[in-house]
A and B are shown apart, each in its own frame.
Chain A
Amino acid sequence: MHDAAARHDWPARILADGALVIVVVLWWLASRNLPAFVLPSPWATAQALGRFVADPALMLDVAATTGRVVLSVIVATALGIALAIVPFYLPATRDIVHARILPFLNAMPSLGWAILAVIWFGVSEVSVIFAQTAILVPFCFINVSQGIDEIDAEILEMTRSFSRRRSLTFRKVIIPAVAPYVVAAARLAYGVSWKIALIAELFGSERGLGYVMYQAQTISDPATVIATCFVIVILFILGDLLVLRPLYRFASPQDRDKPLTFT
C-alpha cells in the first residue's frame, strides 16, 4: 500500500526485504528442532507448493476452486446489484433490504451456510456455489448500494428534464455512476471468496483446494496446508492484477491514478 510512496525510502525497503530473509531463516532453524508434523521446513513447503504445478490431480483441484470462486463472485455481484437497486426504484422497500435482509446476511456465519448447503443440496457442486454466493452477497450489496446512494439527485433531475425515457437515464447516468462500485464490489468479493468461501469445499465437495487442505490436516501434513494457503494468496494476487485492476481502471477512468482502498 505504501510501497509506491516509499520508493526512495531505502532503509525501510532494506528492513522489509531483510526481515523476509530473517523470517525464512528463523523458520528453517525452528523447523530443524521441531517435528515435521508441527512445522515443516521452508524447503518441504516449497516442494509441496511445486506439486501444485506438477501433479495433474492437484491442478484439477486448483481449476475446480478457481471456477467456483469466479462463478460465485459473478452470481453474488448480480444478486448484490439486484438487491441494491430494488429500494432505488421502490423507496418503500428500503427498510426491508437495509434493516432486515442485510443485517441477517451480515450476521449469518459462513460455516452456517456451508453446513446448511450440504443438508439441502448434498455433497455437490450446487451446494458449494450456493454457500459461497450466500457468503459473498452482503459484501457486494454494501458496495453497490453505496454507489447508488451517491448518484447525484440533481443530475438525475436534470436528466429527467432532458428526456423522459427511463432506459436512457439508466444507460447514460446510472450505469456510469455505479460501474466503479460494481467492480469494487466484485473485487472485494473476490478477495473474501478466496479467504473464506473455501469453507464450503470442506464439507460440500470432494475436489478443490479446501478439500486438499482438509485432507492434509487430517494426515498431519502442515507443509501441504501452508502450501495451499500460499497457492490461494498467489491466485488471489494474479486474478486481482490481471483481471480486476484493469477492469476497475476501465470502469472508473476518473480514478485511474487513485490508490484502491476499501472501507
Chain B
Amino acid sequence: MRSLSLSTRRKLAANLFVAVMLAAWAIAALRLPGYVLPDPLVVVRQALAFFTDAKLAGHVVASIWHVVAALALAFFFGTALAVTSHYLRVTRILIGRAAAFLNSFSSIGWALLAILWFGLNDQAVIFAIGVVILPIFMINMQAALERRDAELIEMTASFTRSWPRGFISVVLPSLYPFMLATTRLAFGVAWKVALTAELFGGNSGFGFVVNIARQDIDTPRIFAVIAIMIAISFLADRFMFAPLQRVLTRHYADA
C-alpha cells in the first residue's frame, strides 16, 4: 500500500467506495420491501426498458427536447438582455433588478403558474424551465462582458469604427468560452428543474413518468428515472461540455 502513489490510492479508494455502497444497497434491498428499497438489478432492468420500450423512450426524448428548447430560449433572451444592459447603460439598474427578482422567485411557483397560463403541455414545461435558468444567463453573461479585456476593446475601436463589425468579429468570439461555461451550468440546473416542471405541468417526459410511478408506488421505476437522469447529466458534462470547453478556451481565451 505504501508504494502506491497518492493519486492511485485516491482512485482505488473512490472505486472501492462505490463498490461498497452498491453492495450495501443490494444487501439492504434483500431485507427491505421492494417499494421502500428496490433491488439494484430490478432498477437496472427498469432503466434499460427506457431504451427498449418505444413508449418510454419517447419520454426520454421529450425531456431532452424540453431542456434543449428551454436552454436555447434562455440563452437567447438572457444574452440579449445582458448585452443591452452592458451597452445601454440607462437600462442597467432595470435589468439588474429584473435578474435579481427572477433569481429569487420560487421555481415551483413558476411551474404552478405555467400550468395555469399554458395548460398541461410542452409550452408550460419549456416556459417553467426557461424562466428559472434565464437569470443564470443574464447574470453570468453580464459578468463576462464586464470582465473582458479593456485593451482588446480599445484595439477593436482603433481598427474599425463600425460597432456591429467590431462586436461580431471581436467581442462575440471573446465571449464564446463564457457562453459555454454558462450553458454548462444552466444545463445542470435545467435538467434538474425539468423533472419538477414535467411532474406538475407536463404530459410527457421523465417528470410525467415519475408522477405516475409515484401514484402507483412503483419505486423501482422512480429509482430508474433518477439513475438515467444522473447518467445523462454526467455523460453530457464529461463527454460534451468538458471537451468543448477545452477547445473553446484554447481558441478564444488564450491568455
Which positions in A face B, CB cutoff 8 Å? 1-3, 6, 9, 11-13, 15-16, 19-20, 37-39, 91-96, 99-100, 103-104, 106-112, 115-116, 119-120, 191, 194-196, 198-199, 202-203, 210, 213-214, 216-217, 220, 222, 225-226, 228-229, 232-233, 236-237
When the two chains form their complex, are residues A237 and B104 in contact, meaning their CB atoms are under 8 A apart? yes
A92 near B35: Cβ-Cβ < 8 Å: no
From B52-60, B158-166, B227-235, the one touching the partner chain is: B227-235
- Name A209's closest neighbour in chain B (CB-CB): B106
Contact of A111 among B36, B92, B210 (CB under 8 A): B210
CB A40 to nearest CB in B, in angstroms, measures 10
When the two chains form their complex, are residues B230 and A38 in contact, meaning their CB atoms are under 8 A apart?
no
Q: Is the CB of B106 within 8 A of A198?
A: yes
Known: A12-B90, A16-B93, A16-B94. A222 touches B116 (CB 8 A): yes
How far apart are the CA atoms of A137 and B18 in the complex, in Å? 19
Interface size bracket, B side: 35 or more
- Once A13-B93, A111-B199 are accepted as A-B contacts, the answer to whether A233 and B101 lie under 8 Å apart by CB is yes
What is the CA–CA distance of A112 and B225 in the complex, to the nearest angstrom?
A: 9
| B167 at the binding interface (Cβ < 8 Å) | no
Contact residues in A for B104 (Cβ distance below 8 Å): 191, 194-195, 232-233, 236-237
A250 CB to closest chain B CB, in angstroms?
24
In the complex, 16 of the A-B residue pairs with CB atoms within 8 angstroms, ordered by the A residue number, are A1-B96, A2-B92, A12-B94, A16-B94, A96-B10, A99-B14, A103-B234, A109-B226, A111-B196, A115-B214, A191-B104, A202-B108, A214-B112, A229-B105, A229-B106, A232-B104
Which A residues are CB-close (under 8 A) to B207? 111
Residue of A nearest to B10 (CB): A95
A2 in contact with B109 (CB, 8 Å):
no
Given contacts A12-B89, A119-B36, A233-B105, contact A38 B196 (CB under 8 A): no
Contact A95 B11 (CB under 8 A): yes
Chain B residues, Cβ within 8 Å of A115? 210, 214, 222
Contact at B192–A109, with CB atoms within 8 Å? yes
Residue of A104, A108, A225 ringed by the most chain B CB atoms within 10 A: A225
Overall SS of chain B's interface: helix
B99 — nearest CB in chain A belongs to which residue? A1
Query: A1, A3, A194: which has the most chain B beta carbons within 10 Å?
Result: A1
Q: Other than A94-B10, A111-B207, A213-B112, give 19 A-B pairs with Cβ distance below 8 A.
A: A1-B100, A15-B91, A16-B94, A16-B97, A92-B13, A96-B10, A96-B13, A100-B17, A109-B229, A115-B222, A191-B104, A195-B104, A198-B106, A213-B106, A213-B109, A225-B113, A228-B109, A229-B109, A236-B104
A28 CA to B14 CA in the complex, in Å? 57
**What is the CA–CA distance of A177 and B230 in the complex, to the nearest angstrom?**
34
Known contacts A110-B196, A120-B36: A199-B14 contact under CB 8 Å? no
Query: A2 touching B14 by the CB < 8 A rule?
Result: no
Residues of B within 8 A of A96 (CB): 10, 13-14, 17
- Binary CB contact string for chain B from 120 to 147 against chain A (1 if under 8 A, 0 otherwise): 0000000000000000000000000000
Q: How close is B217's CB to chain A, nearest CB, in angstroms?
A: 7
Residues of B within 8 A of A120 (CB): 36
**Do A217 and B91 touch (CB < 8 A)?**
no
- Assess whether B105 is in contact with A37, with CB atoms less than 8 Å apart: no
Separation in Å of the A144 CB from the closest CB of chain B? Answer: 20
Q: Are B93 and A3 touching (Cβ within 8 A)? A: yes
Name the residue on B nearest A110 (C-beta): B192
A120 vs B222: C-alpha distance when bound (angstroms): 13
Instruction: Report A-chain residues with C-beta under 8 Å of the C-beta of B107.
Output: 195-196
- If A107-B188, A213-B108, A226-B109 touch, whether A6 touches B92 (CB-CB below 8 Å) is yes
Count chain B CB atoms within 10 A of each CB in A11, A109, A111, A213 and give the residue with the most: A111
Contact A104 B13 (CB under 8 A): no
> Measured between alpha carbons, how far is A11 from B88 in the docked complex, in Å?
11
| CA distance in complex: A196, B103 (Å) | 11
**Which residue from chain B places its CB closest to the CB of A196 in the assembled complex?**
B107
Q: Are B94 and A15 in contact (CB under 8 A)?
A: yes
